[in-house]
């Protein structure tokens, strides 16, 4: 049968509506949708799930999953550069150059592809590997003792029942019995008050947050008073449930930020909102779902009724704060990098769908600038940067690295674009800090055990996380296999300097690599966990950006390296980073390692302090007036300093 002249078979074929010649694909039904059957594996086989979705022809597998709430690992937001969104298809698709770099020949033959590069032009079955939803994360950090004075208060009162002789209103009767506070009632309370008072025989507990009377509960519930502190990270989110009566943590949990499909860094997520008018709403929903899931988890683990959680404090960078509130983040991503406000408003937790008490409040930390946000202010609060008279350097290492320097009187801060290397992004065998990630590496140039690996979960190595990357480069610098410029040394030099390691220097295509782990004795480099020359360059650029940042801050205050008395490495990455390796590659100043402290999740600690003490909460706002933000991008000397910091020093 001949085709009508107004129909182009090639156009239909590109849309997946006819069967391509020479394939065994089933022709699409022409209804304008293709069906993708996702099998989402879980580390617990009992939780492996299947889901079928229908999408327009030509949509990528990655976008098809993201649109339908199916999580596929990614840090680049679906642009084909992070090589994380690995899926297995039930048929072979064309191999892109990114696929060829990611998978072995056997894996390609078995149907493995990068989901963001496969367009769904006909029905597909897709196997999605388990997503790491609980990465290794710092859940506690350096903090200070505080005087317990939370904003959430409860007062148990026994009221006289009204009579014809005593016709005082219900609200006035209640307020008169609360002698040490002067709260204002909101509409929620007025709606509940008449019924609760009478059903409880006028024996009730008043719940006050700041100066608001937010609820009246039957009986004495004064021992049930809770709040949740959130560290809303770009990659990982941590929640801590606090008992406000005792001031102690009840439960803590962490998970990946559900915004990951939009990219692993804030710039990717800002770009998503600029390219897609619906992306902001999706990003807000993803953030709120992350917070709500963690809130439900810590309440379940702590055996606490979510209705008894009356406040939440959220510490996040400026972009994460804007996204969770549904504020357009575009001005944060383009010069001159302007925030909508340094002090976000307090909102109802139910506006964020957190599943807590209906009138629970959600408060946010103030921000110093577009790239020194509320999480850093929370970290400064917890570590007492404004109270300690020592010269201290605070570094939160991540995709965007925030740096704070104090000489005991003045405090300056800045941000440096480190890139995704520390999160495993743009690294050939990079991965997040989860089971199977190499996190510690020791090299011996001539010993019986030339390579010692520390692997999270004590399982077979699958890849390299940020701390392992720093260790690998530092150790290769130490044994001489990497020269000061960051290049692998020639083979003859390697055999002379490190005979036990020289055979691990090999090639993948045109690129030199160092083999860290072979799954079998005869495994090829492509099947092994390796550190590539390009990986070294990625780390060089990241460490140069960071060290340039703190070098310029030292110059700002007229200080030298040796003046620094303490370095605080904050965040999950800083918690597991080897201080010696950080010094060796120049990520931190050349100081004795005892001066370098893993500060842990100081943002989370600051959020806890703000919930436990209204005085500390006020102190966070005071920091806005005490800290001077230094913009690096307009410094004429930045490029010269950056080039100087690229080199590795030997003998460190």
Structure tokens belonging to residue 438: 């190499």
What SS3 class is residue 237? strand
Q: Which tops the pLDDT comparison, 442 or 134? A: 442
Lowest mean pLDDT, pick from 1-5, 150-154, 379-383, 616-620? 1-5
pLDDT in tens, 129-152: 876 544 544 444 556 678 899 999
Structure tokens belonging to residue 573: 């990455």
Rounded Cα–Cα distance for residues 297 and 303 (Å): 10
pLDDT in tens, 560-574: 999 999 999 987 677
Kindly state the average pLDDT of the residues 630-651: 81
Q: Which tops the pLDDT comparison, 540 or 235? A: 540
With 90 as the cut, is the pLDDT of residue 24 above it?
Answer: no
What 3 state SS string does 11-62 have?
HHHHCCCCCCCCCCCCCCCCCCCEEEEEEECCCCHHHCEEEEEEECCCCEHH
Q: Strands 566-570, 596-600: parallel, antiparallel or unpaired by DSSP? A: parallel
Q: How many helices (H) and strands (E) does the chain have?
A: 19, 27
Rounded Cα–Cα distance for residues 177 and 158 (Å): 8
What single DSSP character describes residue 314?
Answer: E
- Cα separation values, 407 from 121, 412, 413, 587, 631, Å: 61, 9, 12, 20, 19
pLDDT in tens, 34-92: 788 988 887 666 667 788 887 777 778 887 776 666 777 776 656 666 777 889 998 88
pLDDT-above-90 percentage for the chain: 58
pLDDT of residue 79: 64
Q: Strands 236-243, 248-256: parallel, antiparallel or unpaired by DSSP? A: antiparallel
Q: Strands 124-128, 34-40: parallel, antiparallel or unpaired by DSSP? A: parallel
- Cα separation values, 189 from 160, 180, 226, 297, Å: 19, 19, 19, 28
Q: Which tops the pLDDT comparison, 291 or 8? A: 291
Mean pLDDT, the chain, whole residue set: 86
pLDDT of residue 130: 75
Assess contact for 399 and 264: CB atoms under 8 A: yes
Report residue 15's pLDDT band, with 50, 70 and 90 as the boundaries.
Answer: very low
Kindly state the average pLDDT of the residues 101-114: 87
The alpha helices in 503-613, defined as continuous H runs, are 533-556, 571-576, 579-585, 602-612
pLDDT of residue 20: 44
Instruction: Kindly report the number of other CB atoms within 10 A of residue 569's CB atom.
Output: 24
Report residue 421's pLDDT band, with 50, 70 and 90 as the boundaries.
Answer: confident
Q: What are phi and psi of 171, to 5 degrees?
A: -70, -45
The residues, any chain, with a CB within 8 Å of residue 490's CB and separated by 6 or more, are none
Kindly state the average pLDDT of the residues 180-187: 91
pLDDT in tens, 111-125: 999 988 888 888 889
pLDDT in tens, 213-260: 999 999 999 999 999 999 998 888 999 999 999 999 999 999 989 998
Kindly state the average pLDDT of the residues 425-432: 84
Give residue 598's Cα distance to chain centre.
18
Rounded to 10 degrees, what is the CA torsion of 527, 530, 533, 538? Answer: 110
Rounded Cα–Cα distance for residues 254 and 601 (Å): 11
Assess contact for 89 and 103: CB atoms under 8 A: no
Structure tokens belonging to residue 447: 């010993």
Report residue 289's pLDDT band, with 50, 70 and 90 as the boundaries.
Answer: very high
């Amino acid at each position: 049968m001949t085709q009508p002249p107004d129909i182009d078979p090639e156009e239909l074929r590109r849309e997946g509506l006819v069967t391509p010649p020479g394939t065994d694909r089933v022709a699409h039904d022409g209804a304008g949708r293709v069906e993708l059957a996702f099998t989402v594996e879980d580390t617990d086989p009992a939780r492996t799930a299947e889901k079928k979705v229908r999408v327009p022809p030509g949509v990528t597998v990655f976008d098809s999953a993201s649109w339908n709430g199916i999580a596929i690992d990614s840090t680049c937001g679906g642009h084909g550069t992070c090589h994380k969104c690995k899926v297995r298809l039930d048929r072979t698709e064309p191999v892109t150059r990114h696929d060829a770099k990611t998978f072995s020949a056997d894996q390609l033959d078995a149907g493995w592809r990068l989901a963001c590069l496969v367009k769904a032009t006909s029905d597909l079955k897709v196997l999605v590997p388990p997503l790491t939803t609980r990465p290794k994360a710092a859940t506690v950090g350096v903090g200070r003792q505080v005087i317990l004075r939370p904003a959430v208060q409860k007062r148990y009162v026994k009221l006289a029942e009204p009579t014809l002789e005593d016709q005082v209103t219900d609200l006035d009767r209640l307020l008169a019995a609360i002698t040490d506070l002067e709260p204002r009632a909101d509409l929620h309370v007025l709606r509940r008050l008449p019924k609760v008072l009478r059903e409880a025989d006028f024996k009730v507990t008043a719940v006050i947050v700041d100066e608001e009377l937010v609820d009246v509960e039957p009986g004495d519930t004064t021992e049930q008073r809770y709040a949740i502190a959130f560290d809303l990270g770009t990659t990982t989110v941590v929640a801590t449930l606090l008992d406000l009566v005792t001031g102690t943590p009840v439960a803590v949990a962490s998970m990946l930020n559900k915004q990951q499909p939009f990219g692993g860094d804030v710039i990717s997520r800002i770009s998503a909102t600029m390219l897609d008018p619906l992306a902001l709403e999706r990003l807000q929903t993803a953030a709120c779902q992350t917070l709500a899931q963690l809130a439900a988890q810590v309440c379940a683990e702590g055996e606490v009724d979510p209705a008894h959680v009356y406040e939440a404090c959220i510490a996040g960078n400026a972009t994460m704060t804007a996204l969770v509130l549904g504020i357009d983040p575009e001005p944060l991503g383009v010069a001159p990098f302007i925030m909508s406000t340094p002090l976000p408003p307090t909102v109802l937790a139910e506006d964020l769908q957190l599943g807590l008490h209906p009138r629970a409040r959600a408060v946010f930390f103030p921000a110093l600038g577009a790239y020194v946000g509320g999480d850093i202010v929370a970290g400064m609060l917890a570590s007492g940067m404004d109270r300690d008279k020592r010269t201290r350097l605070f570094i939160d290492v991540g995709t965007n690295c925030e740096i704070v320097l104090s000489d005991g009187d003045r405090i300056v801060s800045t941000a440096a674009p480190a890139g995704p290397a520390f999160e495993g992004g743009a690294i050939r065998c990079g991965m997040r800090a989860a089971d199977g990630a190499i996190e510690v590496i020791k090299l011996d140039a001539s010993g019986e055990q030339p390579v010692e690996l520390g692997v999270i979960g004590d399982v077979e190595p699958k890849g390299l996380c940020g701390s392992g990357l720093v260790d690998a480069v530092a150790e290769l610098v130490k044994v001489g296999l990497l020269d000061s410029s960051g290049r692998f040394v020639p083979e003859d030099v390697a055999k002379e300097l490190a005979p036990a390691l020289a055979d691990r220097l090999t090639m993948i295509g045109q690129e030199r690599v160092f083999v860290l782990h072979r799954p079998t004795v005869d495994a090829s480099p492509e099947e092994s966990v390796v550190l590539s020359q390009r990986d070294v360059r990625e780390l060089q650029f990241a460490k140069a950006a960071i060290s340039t940042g703190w070098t310029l801050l030292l110059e700002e205050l007229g200080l030298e390296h040796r003046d620094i008395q303490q370095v605080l490495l904050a965040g999950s990455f800083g918690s597991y980073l080897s201080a010696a390796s950080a010094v060796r590659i120049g990520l931190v100043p050349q100081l004795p390692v005892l001066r370098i402290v893993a500060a842990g999740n100081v943002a989370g600690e600051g959020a806890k302090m703000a919930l436990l003490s209204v005085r500390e909460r006020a102190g966070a706002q005071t920091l806005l007036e005490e800290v001077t933000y230094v913009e690096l991008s307009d410094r004429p000397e930045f490029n010269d300093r950056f080039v100087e910091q690229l080199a590795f020093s030997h003998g460190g």
